[in-house]
Amino acid sequence: MEQPEQVVELKRELEEALSSSAFNYGQILELATELSSYDPEFIRFTVDAGLISRLGRELVAKQETAVSELVKNAFDADASRARLTFIDCDRRGGRLIITDDGHGMTREQLINGFMRLSSTDKIHNPISPRYKRTRAGKKGIGRFVAQRLGEKLIVITQTENSSYALKVEINWSDYQGDRELTQIANQIQEVDKLRDYGTSLQIVGLAEPWSLSQTERVYRYLIDINGLGLERFGVFVFEYVFLRDSQNRYADIHVQQSFFFRKDIACQTLALF
């Protein structure tokens, strides 16, 4: 059976791309995906890149809920401390940095876990390795709420056994409709480690302003999580810092909230200093 002209041309382009010394992974993936659409016997689901924007908008209604989802990831990563730093947050365009001292991510975990839609890692591994916590996130899509919060997400992560950190920048504006999700690439870089282990999420270009009372709601949302770490004693410290903005309207405020869990006992402490 004679193949359609489009299939013949796609095969030729794919062969050239595979044999080229300048190996272009994005081009090869795009050609292979298009070629598969001509399969006479099977059809496949495809994913429009606009799904990422929809996930960001529709997963949560409030930005406080979105931040609490990201802090839950730190808890699931066996962090003992999560620090939230709000910079120039009294108006749109500010920055939020969420830093934890969890186990961090390897390249494989970053690609097949963090960058994978509906990752099943927390289903297969429901208990954290270090503190034996019941992991709060199960659906594998919570990290996409970062799109609800700002224009760009910068991930910097390092593990204890690695000699370097990994950095990925995600521009949410790239994820527009009428494009295949797999055709959008995000560069991954090896950079100097910021600490021995842990992860930093930097949300650049905040979509909405923040107030101190909103950060307090983040804390309340977190302690209301059903079953969060109650199986075994553990400590999780949640801090947030308001840096002085350009109009000097906020004093430097450092607030530390601690979660102490033991069986069915959950108590909280608040320290201002």
Q: Is the pLDDT of residue 226 over 70?
A: no
Q: Is the pLDDT of residue 143 over 90?
A: no
Rounded to an integer, what distance in angstroms lies between the CA atom of residue 114 and that of residue 199? 12
Residue 226 CA to residue 238 CA, distance in Å, equals 17
Q: Which residue has the higher pLDDT, 224 or 158?
A: 158
Dist. CA 226–CA 264, nearest whole Å: 11
Q: State the pLDDT confidence band at 237, using cuts at 50, 70 and 90.
A: low
Mean pLDDT of 38-56: 89
Return the structure tokens found at 149: 């919060």
- Confidence check: pLDDT of 33 > 70: yes
Mind listing the domains of the chain with CATH numbers? 5-36 (no CATH), 58-272 (3.30.565.10)
* Summary mean pLDDT of the chain: 79
| Bigger pLDDT: 131 vs 101 | 101
Q: Is the pTM above the cut of 0.85?
A: no
Alpha helices in 59-183 (DSSP H): 63-76, 107-109, 121-124, 146-149
pLDDT value of residue 223: 65
Q: Using alpha carbons, select from 184, 29, 41 the residue that is nearest to residue 14.
A: 29
CB 222 within 8 A of CB 168: no
* Residue among 110, 109, 112, 118 nearest 137 (CA): 118
To 5 degrees, how large is the angle CA 10–CA 13–CA 17? 135
Q: Which residues of 241-264 are buried (b: 16+ CB within 10 A; e: fewer)?
A: bbbebeeeebeeeebbbebebeee
